Amino acid sequence: MRKAIVYASVHHRNTEKLAKNIAEECQVDLIDAVKRSDADLSSYDIIGFASGIYFSKFHQSILEFAEKNLPDDKKVFLICTYGGSANYKSIEQTLDKKRSKVIGKFGCKGYDTFGPFKLVGGIAKGHPDEEDIKNAVEFVKVL
């Protein structure tokens, strides 16, 4: 079963840390949506979208990538890292249009220095940590 994760990891590489560890453990192809705006996803059985949460949304590059490249009727899983809270609504709107089936969601804290958090040295320092990474890998293994 072929799996891919399309990810965006911009500021502290929180999401990239999860994606790279998952790829090593689970034989998953990685696609960086910030560096590549398109890719043929038709040969993948399961596609993951992974992003930090920015203003309560997945990164814009992920949303645009999914809109442009996700074939209809695919099985999809979602991963997010966040300083505040997980929020999948923005990507789910695109997935609904594509008639995709979300087969799982995973979220964990990620180091965040946005806005006022920068003044106090950020929040969720050290995350994702080893436990977060282990849980993310296990999440993908059971899909």
Q: In the chain, what are the domains?
A: 3-141 (3.40.50.360)
Q: 63: pLDDT confidence band, cut at 50, 70 and 90?
A: very high
Q: What's the pLDDT tens digit per position in 11-36?
A: 778 999 999 999 999 999 999 999 99
- So what's the pLDDT on residue 133? 96
The string of pLDDT tens digits covering residues 70-129 is 999 999 999 999 988 899 999 999 999 999 999 999 999 887 666 666 666 665 677 899
Q: Which of 12, 5, 4, 6 is nearest to 62 (CA)?
A: 6
d(Cα 57, Cα 46) in Å, to the nearest integer? 22
Q: What's the pTM value of the predicted model, to 2 decimals?
A: 0.93
Q: Which token pair is 36?
A: 């590549």
